[in-house]
A and B are shown apart, each in its own frame.
Chain A
Amino acid sequence: MNAQRVIEIIQGYDGDPTASLAILQDVQRELKYLPREALELIAQQLDMPVGYVYRLATFFKVFSLQPKGEHICKICLGTACHVKGGPLILETMERELGVKAGNTTADGKFSVEGVRCLGACALAPIIVIDDEPLGQMTPDAVVTRVRQLRAGEVVKIPAQMPVKVAVREAVDLSAVPPKG
């Protein structure tokens, strides 16, 4: 863990304890998860109990205390996706990768997450793999995409696939500007 970066992030907020949530978000964006040392460092810098920081980090779903896989597959389980077959998509993904939702494959390549509503309900069922949204999914398309990724193919979004959903801010470590 890059302790210096974590300290820089905290200093970007002038050590303001009410910014604890924003600090955790920025640290997670930087490290991709929240290791124990980071939580301890934040607690120490903000002069609050580690338990308090831990409570924040476990209350909000955005945070993860576990490292994530190389590819993060989010399967939307919002209401619209649920009625249009989202569970079948999740099941296909779980079967293809051999892990249950919330876990990472043994080789550290894929993490599978069931998420609640990505806000692109008209394109249900939708999944997002590594910030690439794929709408109106079918089990077949899931399998194809995962196999492509596993083979290490760099694939552009097929032109005929309707895809348009908020893409998370790109997590490019080198490009994260220092706060403040």
Chain B
Amino acid sequence: MAELYRADVLVSCLHGRSPELVSALKQELDRRGLAGEVKVVETGCRGFCTMGPVLTIQPNGIFYTDVQLADVPEIVEETLVKGRAVQRLLYKEPATRKVIPNYDAIPFYSKQMRIVLRNCGMIDPQSIDEYIAVGGYEALGKVLSSMTPEQVIAEVQKSGLRGRGGAGFATGRKWEHTRKAAGEVKYVIANGDEGDPGAFMDRALMEGDPYAVLEGLTIGGFAVGTQQGYIYVRDEYPLAVQNLRSAIDRAHEYGLLGSDVLGSGFDFDIRIVRGAGAFVCGESSALMQSLEGKVGEPRAKHVHATDRGLWDRPSCLNNVETWANIPPIMNKGGEWFASIGTERSKGTKAFCLVGKVRNPGLIEVPMGITLREIVDDIGGGPPKGREIKAVQTGGPSGGCIPASMLDLPVDYESLTEAGSMMGSGGMIVMDDRTCMVDIARYFIDFLKDESCGKCSTCREGIKRMLEILTNISAGLGKPGDIEVLESLAKTVQLASLCGLGKSAPNPVLSTLHYFREEYEKHIAEQFCPAGVCRALIAYQVVAEKCKGCGLCIKACPQEGISGTARQPHAIDQVKCIQCGACFEVCRLDAIQVVPRSAVTVGSNGGNGYKPVREVVR
């Protein structure tokens, strides 16, 4: 029999000081003789990353942010003994400074709809009992006791669930194909190789609610008719591996994995395989190659993985987030799921809202919500004084959506039409200090490293695009470059073998489409308006605004700023390396970005910067 507690203290942000916080809380509760009344729970990610470590006190939902060790006695005394909130730890709305005591009233949470992240930050991910207590494994019980595999697949089809890894293939159809494929031995695989830079939804799920992934995968195994499941986890996520492993052990102990699951006669087991740091292994055929212990190179898909995948056997591969959506769909029915979202994109999607917003973090929203609602209401808008320029979705395969299109609904079709894609859920907000040429160069540089090199269009095309982009940002762009870039991009898109190559030109094409002017400025005017491409800019002190505080003098790594206190400072253009350290520290906007041609410097910029052709490494 589980013990009953008067209150629960949920400590999130597993990775930081939370373990210390938890032991401090427990000690204090012990000292006050409250250990039997209040339970301290270490949970997974609560999503509100800048506010961490956060602490939720149940049942009343009091939400404390940025909790320090020194706050512990006060929290115990005030909240747990006297039932009052500690005012200074409550969340304050940045604009109005209004205090919001309960987490569900904070705009960051109130605009969200949490289905797949339902348990993240709410339960102890290590405890199977807690997962079961919040309704876990009900779905598996229902499926195994009262449904046929065909009925399960029909329910998934009814839900309209589509692949959450980004491509958006109908999950139910994939399951059906695998079920109908010829062969005795089949596999179900969860893709947890979250390689997109700027995305960590799958990490949060695997770390914060591992049983949901196991349950979804087990239901999938039953539906497609297999006894073996795999979870492929990124090597960079050791905690995910650890939590999944211990979850598998517990599930075995409880008869929820292994032979004769829940006495139904269905046998099923799951193995964890660690990736080894190759972005291309997120691609289905490459992932399966890697699972077999081979080099992760994709193959042509004349034959689908659902017919011949892992070890040439029918394999059903879905993203971790897709699998975690299955238990609620089974519990509440496909129709319920299909009632959320838009015509063709159903349910919710988890995103990592990061970059230049006030509240970066892990969020989950219903499909069809606008980008503006996400960025402004949940994300709190751009930092003070800055302006949003673009939102990047879909990782290196996606594109940049300009601020003028922020009213775009977030669903598979709208994002693709806008030249980007849903992707696995990275959402990077960029402001006027982000250069679009540099962003395109950044992604293409990433893809240059990650291209497996098997097909020549991807291997060579990406490299040539990178050369052009590097030259443009180094001030060596010439008329005609943009056109060559476009034609290269289209060739790579058409002729590459796998998804990586086919989508690799998206960052270039979307920035060219929406921000062509910025490219032209780089080439014709030799200026980077965002102040990012160093070869094209110089920093200057605006004498009228400078109060001579000396912050920039301290920040300059080149010792290139001089001036006396309370007198306007000056930047030595010969020493300046355009690192922008002074610009970042100045609180008075007294440092401005000007074209390089506007300042007098030596012949090559006077700063040791040599425009070289071989800037491409």
Contact = CB atoms under 8 A, between A and B. Distances in A.
A72 interface: no
B292 interface: yes
A91 B274 CA distance: 31
17 contacts: A19-B293, A21-B274, A21-B276, A56-B294, A59-B295, A79-B354, A80-B354, A91-B579, A92-B557, A117-B197, A119-B200, A121-B355, A123-B49, A162-B16, A162-B50, A166-B203, A166-B207
Contacts of A77: 197
A88 interface: yes
Interface stretch (B410-418, B426-434, B540-548, B589-597): B426-434
Contacts of A33: none
B174 interface: no
Given A84-B356, A133-B15, A117 B68 contact: no
Contact of B584 (A17, A85, A119, A169): A85
Interface string A148-175: 0000000001011011111111000000
A169 B242 contact: yes
Contacts of A117: 195-199, 236
B239 interface: yes
A139 to B, nearest CB: 6
Contact of B276 (A61, A84, A160, A163): A61
Nearest to B48: A122
Given A56-B295, A82-B197, A133-B15, 7 more contacts: A21-B293, A22-B274, A60-B296, A78-B197, A121-B352, A168-B236, A169-B241
A175 to B, nearest CB: 14
A59 B16 contact: no
Given A122-B49, A122-B360, A164 B276 contact: no
Interface in B1-60: 13-18, 49-50, 52-53
A34 B240 CA distance: 25
A80 B354 CA distance: 6
Interface in B272-299: 273-279, 290, 292-296
B41 to A, nearest CB: 17
Nearest to A82: B442
Contacts of B203: 119, 166
The 4 closest A-B pairs by CB, nearest first: A122-B49, A164-B16, A164-B15, A60-B276
B274 A25 contact: yes
A172 B452 CA distance: 33
User: What class of interface size applies to chain A in its complex with B?
Assistant: 35 or more
Nearest to A139: B581
Nearest to A122: B49
A62 B276 contact: yes
A120 interface: yes
A119 B194 contact: yes
A18 interface: yes
Contacts of B426: 79, 121
A92 B354 CA distance: 23
A122 to B, nearest CB: 3
A11 to B, nearest CB: 16
User: What class of interface size applies to chain B in its complex with A?
Assistant: 35 or more
A165 B200 CA distance: 11
A122 B354 contact: yes
A95 interface: yes
A111 to B, nearest CB: 16
A167 B239 contact: yes
Contacts of A119: 194, 199-200, 203, 234, 236-237
B235 interface: yes
B50 A122 contact: yes
Contacts of B420: none
Nearest to B51: A162
Given A121-B352, A166-B239, A25 B199 contact: no
A139 B558 CA distance: 13
B446 interface: yes
Which of B198, B430, B452 has the largest count of A CB atoms less than 10 A from its CB?
Answer: B198
A166 B236 CA distance: 8
A25 B274 CA distance: 9
A24 interface: yes
Nearest to A26: B274
A168 B236 CA distance: 7
Given A116-B279, A121-B199, A167-B239, A159 B273 contact: no
Contact of A83 (B15, B279, B430, B581): B430
Interface string A135-156: 0000110000000000000000
Contacts of B128: none
B611 interface: no
Contacts of A24: 276
Interface string B159-203: 000000000000000000000000000000000001111111001
Contacts of A122: 49-50, 352-354, 360-362
A179 interface: no
Nearest to A138: B584
A60 B278 contact: yes
Which of B235, B236, B275 has the largest count of A CB atoms less than 10 A from its CB?
Answer: B236
Contact of A166 (B240, B273, B274, B293): B240
A79 B292 contact: no
B608 interface: no
Contacts of B579: 88, 91
B238 interface: yes
A62 B240 contact: no
Nearest to B359: A122
Contact of A168 (B18, B238, B428): B238
Contacts of A160: 68
Contact of A116 (B360, B361, B446): B446
A124 interface: yes
B464 to A, nearest CB: 22
Contacts of A139: 555, 557, 581
Interface in A117-135: 117-124, 133
